[in-house]
């Protein structure tokens, strides 16, 4: 009986997998960065967008060795915390090393951000400042949508019923049989 139940669960999960896929109404992502809405909002030229994507690629390449070190240090830290007894000096040293590596990434990000902003015109920088202000409001907007004070945008998490709905399994709206707001 247990084997039959396990197989039923597996089959049901397999039937759900296609529903987990993201909608295909997004712009193509040749280099992994979707920026069609940003391009429209800021009024970016094709050359500006190309330059920004190139800078982002350079940032990723420059940050990769640091990210690899961070991964290694995080693994060492997890292992150090699992030892019995825990070597507090080792844990403290690894935490300090991780903080130092994170600071290196932050400095690198700031440098590349400065270069990226240099690609923009003054008008585009003003629009970018408005985006930065809007970004700061995202958590409050999600909470307002969760409390049904606002409608979440089409395709955004939170469009369904309840606090967990609207994620990957429910992109774009309420469950079948419920009217759209």
Residues 2-42 pLDDT 10s: 443 333 333 334 333 333 334 434 444 445 678 999 999 99
Report the domain count for the chain.
2
pLDDT of residue 158: 52
Percentage above 70 pLDDT, the chain: 67
Label residue 153 by pLDDT band (50, 70, 90).
confident
The predicted structure's pLDDT at residue 88: 95
Query: Do 117 and 141 have their domain in common?
Result: no
Enter the pTM of the model: 0.63
Same domain? 87 vs 148: no
Residues 105 and 145 reside in one and the same domain: no
The predicted-structure confidence for 49-82, as pLDDT tens digits, reads as follows 999 999 999 999 999 999 999 999 999 999 999 9
Q: Is residue 20 domain-resident?
A: no
Instruction: Give me the pLDDT at residue 33, please.
Output: 79
Count of CB atoms situated within 10 Å of the CB of 52: 21
Average pLDDT estimate for 79-101: 95
Domain assignment present for 63: yes
What is the predicted pLDDT for the residue at 152? 83
141 is in which domain, residue-wise? Answer: 137-176
pLDDT of residue 169 exceeding 50, the answer is no
d(CA 95, CA 76): 10
Residues 110-116: what's their mean pLDDT?
96
- The pairs formed by 119-123 with CB atoms below 8 angstroms and a separation of 24 or more are 119/48, 119/51, 119/52, 119/55, 120/42, 120/48, 123/43
Domain identity same for 76 and 151? no
Residue 82: CATH number of its domain: 1.20.120
Unique residue bearing structure tokens 């690899």: 68
For residue 154, the model assigns a pLDDT of: 75
Residue bearing the bigger pLDDT, 113 or 16: 113
């Amino acid at each position: 009986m247990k084997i039959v139940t396990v197989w039923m669960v597996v089959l049901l999960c397999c039937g759900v997998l296609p529903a987990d896929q993201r909608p295909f109404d997004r712009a193509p992502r040749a280099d992994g960065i979707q920026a069609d809405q940003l391009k429209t909002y800021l009024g970016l030229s094709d050359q500006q967008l190309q330059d920004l994507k190139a800078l982002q690629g350079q940032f990723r390449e420059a940050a990769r060795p640091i990210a690899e070190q961070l991964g290694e240090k995080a693994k060492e830290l997890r292992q150090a915390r699992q030892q019995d007894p825990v070597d507090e000096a080792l844990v403290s040293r690894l935490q300090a090393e991780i903080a130092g590596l994170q600071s290196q990434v932050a400095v690198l990000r700031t440098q590349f951000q400065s270069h990226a902003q240099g690609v923009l015109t003054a008008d585009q920088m003003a629009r970018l400042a408005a985006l930065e202000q809007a970004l700061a409001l995202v958590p409050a907007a999600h909470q307002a949508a969760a409390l049904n004070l606002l409608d979440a945008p089409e395709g955004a998490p939170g469009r369904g019923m309840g606090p967990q709905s609207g994620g990957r399994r429910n992109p774009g709206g309420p469950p079948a049989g419920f009217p759209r707001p």
